């Protein structure tokens, strides 16, 4: 997804292993936007669980 689409999106979910700044040590400004939600854990596992919860809804 392009940055422009992320900015215009109603909600953005970022799946990340931990709260660290990452390899470069630079914080991603997208993480601090009002429309962004962080989901911490293994990417594949978290995505599967998220999809299952949406299907139940």
The structural domain count of the chain equals 1
Locus of tokens 């669980």: 49
Query: Going by C-beta distance under 8 Å and a sequence separation of 6 or more, which residues neighbour residue 30?
Result: 3, 6, 12, 14, 36
Question: Considering the entire predicted model, what is its pTM?
Answer: 0.69
SS3 15: strand
For 1-57, write each residue's pLDDT tens digit: 677 777 788 889 899 888 777 778 888 888 889 999 999 999 999 999 999 999 998
The residue range of the domain holding 37 is: 3-56
In this prediction, residue 55 carries a pLDDT of 95
In this prediction, residue 31 carries a pLDDT of 86
In this prediction, residue 27 carries a pLDDT of 80
User: Of 21, 22, 4, 13, which Cα lies nearest the Cα of 43?
Assistant: 13
In this prediction, residue 35 carries a pLDDT of 92
């Amino acid at each position: 997804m392009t940055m422009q689409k992320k900015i215009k999106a109603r909600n953005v979910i970022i799946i990340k292993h931990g709260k660290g700044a990452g390899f470069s040590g630079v914080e991603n400004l997208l993480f601090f936007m009002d429309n962004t939600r962080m989901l911490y854990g293994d990417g594949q596992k978290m995505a599967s669980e998220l999809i299952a919860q949406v299907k139940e809804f």
